């Protein structure tokens, strides 16, 4: 290479502009827990993966999570090393038990799947979850089974209600569910685990002080059960968001049980303790715990914690000190490539990517990945606002910062259609093109109120961007008419949890406020995600 060229290259590399570009590319990456040097950091996923339970099947790990009213339900992750995870599938395709899951006659926000449990027994995967309802409605419990983790799954709905279930296969062939809140019960199931065999038996009803200064007692929930070295263990969450992890232990299945707090730490996130999760043993004999921590509007994020056995108790943290680790040595090297759950989608496939979930059951006649190749086409359905619109397509926002951009073609809109992109929860906000009569307007809506608008908006193609951060839980919104220069629009969304326990989500939307039946469609060319990896 000649000297003149080397000088030019060196001047480019040393320039402030080049340094800025490199810094941006370095910072705008997806969060990964794998440090690439044999260590990992927490959280292992910087997004909403609440109520985790985990199993190992030979060399594979499976982690299940709560998803409530989002469909498909009960997301299942897969890993080879407990640090790098991808999405394996879902245990529930859609909900059939109530028309309100179809937004008919109401809605089912916060219903669906709660506190799922996962086990593998005699070649079959089992997933259990509860669906709490309130008032006069009947709550229920479900078991889903499949030979393959990717499905198909068969769901059985029980007449009984087993809250926060933990499925347990004893070594004598009997099957149980531990369940309850505050008071814990064991209910025996029949051998196929698809119906109850006995009435619930109470195994715990004590309330205890966290420490001498707590000034009160706390109930426990989120239970999972194990038999280890001849003893029965039930791990439970206590204290809600403040949170800590409790373990019960007994020589007998039905007790009496003694208890011990095995983790109490907020990991530098004041007031939000580690609580609720599952215990797993590796082939090398070591034990680990996947446990969640509330991170406000971003969601409940999972941590991977080492376990040290002390006096017969599975104590969480380095040397079993009950404190969460920030960075720690990986036990399994696993795949050399870093793996994270999918986010970005170019919509080139004929099937929807596993990163996506609908708000309630979708109307499958009103969306397509094949009507226009390379696009997600959303046909509008009648709704008064976003909260009762069908076919709102979502995926998780992530911390500590994430942004997502879509390219949207609005050529197919008809009178009354509102098509756009934003952040969904309660409150919600979005930017959309609204067609009234023959005219399009660009609008920014914050929780049902139009904050800003541009009338006589003529572009047929538009680029929309939303950002989310865990610092102040703010969502911001931008638009572009050339895909290059983005302008802020509207105001800031103060992200919150009006629908308790479900995090904020990026959302693709199209609905119609006109009852003339001539609803149009919106074409999303792609969805592209970025986050800060720091």
CB 268 within 8 A of CB 275: no
Q: What is the pLDDT of residue 208?
A: 65
Q: What angle do CA 78, 80, 82 make, to 5 degrees?
A: 80
Q: Is the pLDDT of residue 247 over 70?
A: yes
Give the pLDDT confidence of 264-288 residue by residue, as tens digits: 999 988 889 999 999 999 999 999 9
Q: What angle do CA 225, 309, 328 make, to 5 degrees?
A: 100
Q: Is the four-CA dihedral 364, 366, 368, 371 of positive or negative sign?
A: positive
Q: Where, residue-wise, is CATH 2.115.10.20 in the chain? A: 39-207+219-329
Cα dihedral 334, 339, 340, 345 in deg (nearest 10): -150
Q: Which of 164, 221, 294, 470 is catalytic?
A: 221
Tokens representing 30 are 């997806």
Burial label for 164, CB within 10 Å (0-12, 13-18, 19+), is buried
Q: How far apart are CA 156 and CA 145, in angstroms?
A: 9
Tokens representing 63 are 């982690």
Percent of the chain with pLDDT over 70: 92
Q: What dotted CATH number matches 357-531?
A: 2.60.120.200
Q: Is the pLDDT of residue 359 over 60?
A: yes
pTM: 0.92
pLDDT level of residue 421 (50, 70, 90 thresholds): very high
Question: Which backbone phi and psi does 122 adopt, to 5 degrees?
Answer: 50, 45
pLDDT level of residue 211 (50, 70, 90 thresholds): low
* Three-state secondary structure string covering 268-330: CCCCCCCEEEEEEECCCCCEEEEEEEECHHHCEEEEEEEEEEECCEEEECHHHCCCCCCEEEC
pLDDT level of residue 337 (50, 70, 90 thresholds): confident
* Residue labelled with tokens 């794998």: 34
Q: Is the four-CA dihedral 30, 36, 42, 48 of positive or negative sign?
A: positive
Q: What is the pLDDT of residue 5?
A: 39
Q: Which of 48, 51, 81, 409 is catalytic?
A: 51
CB 217 within 8 A of CB 209: yes
Those residues with Cβ within 8 angstroms of residue 429's Cβ, 6 or more apart along the chain or in another chain: 422, 423, 444, 445, 446, 447, 475, 477, 490, 493
CB 252 within 8 A of CB 304: no
Is 221 a catalytic site residue?
Answer: yes
Give the pLDDT confidence of 33-44 residue by residue, as tens digits: 999 999 999 999
Burial label for 188, CB within 10 Å (0-12, 13-18, 19+), is middle
Q: Is the pLDDT of residue 18 over 70?
A: no
Mean pLDDT of all residues in the chain? Answer: 91
What class, spelled out in words, does domain 39-207+219-329 have in CATH? mainly beta
- Local structure of residue 534 (DSSP, 8 states): -
Question: Which backbone phi and psi does 101 adopt, to 5 degrees?
Answer: -65, -20
Is 284 a catalytic site residue?
Answer: no
Q: Is the pLDDT of residue 87 over 80?
A: yes
Q: Where, residue-wise, is CATH 2.60.120.200 in the chain? A: 357-531
Strands annotated E in 19-99: 39-41, 53-57, 60-64, 70-71, 73-79, 85-92
């Amino acid at each position: 290479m000649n000297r003149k060229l080397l000088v030019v290259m060196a001047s480019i590399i040393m320039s402030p502009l080049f340094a800025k570009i490199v810094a941006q590319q370095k910072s705008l990456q997806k969060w990964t827990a794998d440090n690439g040097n044999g260590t990992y950091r927490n959280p292992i996923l910087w997004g909403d993966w609440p109520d985790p339970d985990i199993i190992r099947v030979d060399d594979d790990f499976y982690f299940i999570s709560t998803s409530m009213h989002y469909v498909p339900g009960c997301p299942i992750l897969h890993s080879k090393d407990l640090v790098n995870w991808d999405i394996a599938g879902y245990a529930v395709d859609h909900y059939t038990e109530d028309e309100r899951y179809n937004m008919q006659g109401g809605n089912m926000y916060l219903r669906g799947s709660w506190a799922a449990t996962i086990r593998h027994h005699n070649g079959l995967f089992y997933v259990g979850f509860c669906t709490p309802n309130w008032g006069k409605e009947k709550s229920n419990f479900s078991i889903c089974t499949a030979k393959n983790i990717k499905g198909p799954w068969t769901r059985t709905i029980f007449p009984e209600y087993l809250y926060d279930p933990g499925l347990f296969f004893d070594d004598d062939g009997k099957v149980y569910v531990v369940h309850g809140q505050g008071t814990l019960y064991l209910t025996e199931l029949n051998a196929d685990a698809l119906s109850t065999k006995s009435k619930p038996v109470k195994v715990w009803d004590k309330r205890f002080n966290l420490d001498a200064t707590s000034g009160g007692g706390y109930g426990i929930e989120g239970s999972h059960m194990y038999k280890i070295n001849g003893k029965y263990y039930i791990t439970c969450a206590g204290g809600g968001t403040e949170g800590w992890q409790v373990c019960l232990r007994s020589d007998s299945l039905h007790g009496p049980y003694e208890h011990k707090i095995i983790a109490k730490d907020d990991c530098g996130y004041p007031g939000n303790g580690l609580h609720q999760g599952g215990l797993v043993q590796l082939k090398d004999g070591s034990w680990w715990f996947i446990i969640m921590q509330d991170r406000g509007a971003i969601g409940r994020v999972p941590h991977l914690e080492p376990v040290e056995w002390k006096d017969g108790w599975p104590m969480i943290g380095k040397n079993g000190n009950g404190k969460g680790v920030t960075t720690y040595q990986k036990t399994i090297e696993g795949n050399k490539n870093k793996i994270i759950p999918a986010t970005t989608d170019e919509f080139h496939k004929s099937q929807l990517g596993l990163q996506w979930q609908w708000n309630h059951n979708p109307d499958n006649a009103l969306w397509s990945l094949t009507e226009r190749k390379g696009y997600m086409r959303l046909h509008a359905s009648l709704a008064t606002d976003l909260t009762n619109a069908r076919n709102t397509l979502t995926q998780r926002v992530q911390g500590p910062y994430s942004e997502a951009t879509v390219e949207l073609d609005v050529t197919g809109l008809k009178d009354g259609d509102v098509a756009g992109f934003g952040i969904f929860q309660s409150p919600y906000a979005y930017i959309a093109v609204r067609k009234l009569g023959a005219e399009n307007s660009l609008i920014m809506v914050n929780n049902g109120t139009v904050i800003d608008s541009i009338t006589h908006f003529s572009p047929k193609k538009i680029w929309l961007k939303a950002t989310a951060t865990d610092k102040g839980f703010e969502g911001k919104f931008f638009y572009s008419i050339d895909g290059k220069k983005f302008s802020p629009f509207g105001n800031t969304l103060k992200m919150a949890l009006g629908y308790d326990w479900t995090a904020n989500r990026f959302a693709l939307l199209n609905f119609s406020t006109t009852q003339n039946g001539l609803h149009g469609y919106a074409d999303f060319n792609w969805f592209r995600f970025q986050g800060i990896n720091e």
